[in-house]
A and B are shown apart, each in its own frame.
Chain A
Amino acid sequence: MKNLQALAQNGGGDNLILQTTIRLTVPFIQLFGLYVIVHGHYSPGGGFQGGVLLGAAFILLALGYDLPTSKRFFPVRTNAILANSGALIFTGIATLCALLGGYFLDYSILTRLIPIDPIEWRSLGIFFVEVGVGLGVMCIMLSLYWDMASGGQMEEGL
Chain B
Amino acid sequence: MTSNLPLYVIAAPLLTAFVVNLAGRFWRGSVAILSLGALVFSTISAGLVLQQVLTHGTIHYTVGGWQAPWGIELVIDPLAALMLLLISVVALLATFSALASARQELPGREHLFFTLYLILISGLLGLAVTGDAFNLYVLLEITSITTYCLIAMGKGRAPLASFNYIIMGTIGACFYLLGVGYLYMLTGSLNMADIHGILPGMYGSISVATAFAFLLVGVWIKMAFLPLHGWLPNAYSLAPSSTSVLIAPLMTKVSVFLMIRIIFSIFSPDYAFFQHVGVQHLIVWAAALGILIASGLALAQTDLKRMLSYIIVAEVGYMVGGVWLANTTAMTGAILHIVNDALMTLCLFLAASAIVYRLGDSKLASMKGLYRRMPLTMAAFTIGAFSMIGVPPTAGFFSKWYLILGGIQAGPWAWVYVAALLISSLVNAILFFRIIEIAYFQGGGEHGHDAVPRQEACAWQLSPLLLSAVALLAIGMAAGPLVEHLIIPALPAGF
Contacts and interface: CB of A to CB of B under 8 A. Distances in A.
Q: Is the interface of A mostly helix, strand, loop or mixed?
A: helix
A95 B11 contact: yes
A107 B8 CA distance: 17
B106 to A, nearest CB: 15
B474 to A, nearest CB: 34
B138 to A, nearest CB: 14
B65 A84 contact: no
A107 B66 CA distance: 11
Interface in B1-34: 1, 4, 7-8, 11, 14-15, 18-19, 21-22, 25
Contact of B4 (A80, A87, A98, A107): A98
**Counting chain A CB atoms within 10 Å of each CB, which of B4, B25, B64 scores highest?**
B64
Nearest to A92: B15
Interface in A68-124: 77, 80-81, 84, 87-88, 91-92, 94-95, 98, 101-108
A91 B15 contact: yes
Contacts of B14: 91
A81 B22 contact: yes
A87 B19 CA distance: 10
Contacts of B64: 103-107
B62 A103 contact: yes
Contacts of A104: 4, 7, 11, 61, 63-64
A62 B19 CA distance: 29
A50 to B, nearest CB: 21
A80 B15 contact: no
B26 to A, nearest CB: 10
Contacts of B25: 77, 80
B179 to A, nearest CB: 25
B15 A88 contact: yes
Contacts of A77: 25
B15 A103 contact: no
Interface in B41-61: 61
Interface string B238-266: 00000000000000000000000000000
Nearest to B21: A84
Contacts of A87: 18
A77 B25 CA distance: 9
Interface string B470-489: 00000000000000000000
Interface size bracket, A side: 10 to 19
Given A103-B63, A106-B64, A84 B11 contact: no
A115 B495 CA distance: 49
B22 A106 contact: no
A101 B63 CA distance: 13
**Counting chain B CB atoms within 10 Å of each CB, which of A77, A98, A101 scores highest?**
A98
B8 to A, nearest CB: 7
B28 to A, nearest CB: 16
A91 B21 contact: no
A49 B7 CA distance: 29
B21 A98 contact: no
A88 B19 CA distance: 8
Contacts of A105: 63-64
Contact of B65 (A91, A92, A103): A103
B159 to A, nearest CB: 12
Contacts of B1: 101
Contacts of B63: 103-105
A81 B19 CA distance: 10
B377 to A, nearest CB: 36
B7 A98 contact: yes
Given A91-B15, A103-B63, A104-B63, A84 B4 contact: no
A101 B1 CA distance: 9
B76 to A, nearest CB: 13
B129 to A, nearest CB: 12
Contacts of A101: 1
A95 B10 CA distance: 11
Contacts of B18: 84, 87-88, 91
A92 B21 CA distance: 15
A121 B433 CA distance: 65
Nearest to B8: A98
Contacts of B15: 88, 91-92, 95
Given A80-B25, A84-B22, A104-B4, A91 B62 contact: no
A41 to B, nearest CB: 17
Nearest to A81: B22
B21 A102 contact: no
Given A88-B18, A91-B11, A104-B64, 15 more contacts: A77-B25, A84-B22, A88-B19, A91-B14, A91-B15, A95-B15, A98-B4, A98-B8, A101-B1, A102-B65, A103-B63, A103-B65, A104-B63, A105-B63, A105-B64
17 contacts: A80-B22, A80-B25, A84-B18, A88-B19, A91-B15, A91-B18, A98-B4, A98-B11, A102-B65, A103-B62, A103-B64, A103-B65, A104-B7, A104-B11, A104-B64, A106-B64, A107-B64
Interface of B: 1, 4, 7-8, 11, 14-15, 18-19, 21-22, 25, 61-65
Closest 6 CB pairs of A and B: A106-B65, A105-B64, A98-B4, A103-B65, A104-B7, A84-B18
